[in-house]
Amino acid sequence: MLINPKKAEKRPWEMFFVGAFYATISLLLVKWIFSGDPVLSRYSGILVVTFCVMFSIPFIYYTFKLEEEKDLQIKGFKRLLKEHNKALLSFMFLFFGFIIAFSFWYIVFPTGNQNFRVQIETYCLINKPAHFDECVAEYGIEHISKTTAFLTAKEKIVNIFANNIYVLIFTLVFSLIFGAGAIFILAWNASVISAAIGIFSKSNLANLPLGLARYMIHGIPEIGAYFAGALAGGIVSVAVIRHDVHSEKFWTILQDSLNLVILSVVLLFIAALIEVFVTPAVF
């Protein structure tokens, strides 16, 4: 009702406001419905992501359907990539809407850290594995968990790239099996990035632009890679649903999807290099 894929292709920036709206409504619903529950309130971070997924699935699915139709009509990878870029832009603006809204409410809500409990634990596990317990305690979360050792620069870039490939594989598999299901992985990543931005901003709205810049330097190619992978799996999934598997054009769809996956891997490697060497130098 808010927007459809064809309209989003013409004005992809509108998806930013849609994403911010979805994220805000999701947070408000979770606070309103589950904040008083002694059990579910501990997992409010997952519930927020779940609501975002439910809001986003119709748009994601019909975008995949539209892109699969393009594969059947357009020849040449360059032309297809140009067309797919419209969908990728829409997805990325949706994702940025999630990030901005989540980051804003993380800072504004007095108990923001409790709304992003699991996201904070994930942040600490990634960024301060050797001091995990101290990290989560610093941000108001009590948790004891087994952690990994300190990583050197070379180990860190391998670890980051391997982790990103792991996320890409899950995104691709979720797209293949569930169609628009990859949005769960992507919404989850948006919430973790938002918690990191909120932490970096020291819960001060004036520092929010700096926090966004800190994580978006490497975040843009990384996010683009995930959405390219999601699009690759989603196109194949829709082709299977539409019974195009036995047609000759299905091989064209597979080739296009494979090209998108290769593009995703290249983008993830670039993002890992930026995260290890460029981001720390700037911030």
Exposure string for 126-158, b = 16+ CB within 10 A, e = fewer = eebbeebeebbeebebeeeeeeeeeeeeeeebe
Distances in Å between the alpha carbon of 98 and those of 124, 136, 168, 173? 21, 23, 19, 23
Exposure string for 185-216, b = 16+ CB within 10 A, e = fewer = bbbbbbbbbbbbbbbbbebeeebbeebbebbb
Per-residue DSSP letter, 60: H
Residue % of the chain over a pLDDT of 90: 22
pLDDT bracket for residue 244 (50, 70, 90): low
> Out of 64-73, 91-100, 144-153, 259-268, which region has the weakest mean confidence (pLDDT)?
144-153
The overall average pLDDT reported for the chain is 83
> Out of 7-16, 51-60, 82-91, 113-122, which region has the weakest mean confidence (pLDDT)?
113-122
Radius of gyration of the chain (CA): 19
Query: What is the reported pLDDT for 110?
Result: 60
Quick: pLDDT tens for 163-201.
888 888 888 888 888 777 778 888 988 998 998 888 888
Q: Please state the domain count of the chain.
A: 1
pLDDT bracket for residue 97 (50, 70, 90): very high
pLDDT beyond 50 at 230:
yes
Exposure string for 72-89, b = 16+ CB within 10 A, e = fewer = eeeeeeeebeebbebbbb
Distance between CA atoms of residues 87 and 56, nearest Å: 14
Terminal Cα distance for the chain, rounded? 41
Query: Do residues 26 and 48 touch, judged by C-beta distance below 8 A?
Result: yes
pLDDT bracket for residue 111 (50, 70, 90): low
Distance between CA atoms of residues 236 and 233, nearest Å: 5
Q: Domain limits at 154?
A: 5-282
Quick: pLDDT tens for 8-52.
888 899 999 999 999 999 999 988 888 777 777 778 888 999 999
Distance between CA atoms of residues 263 and 224, nearest Å: 10
pTM, rounded to two decimals: 0.82
10 Å CB burial of residue 38 (0-12, 13-18, 19+) is exposed
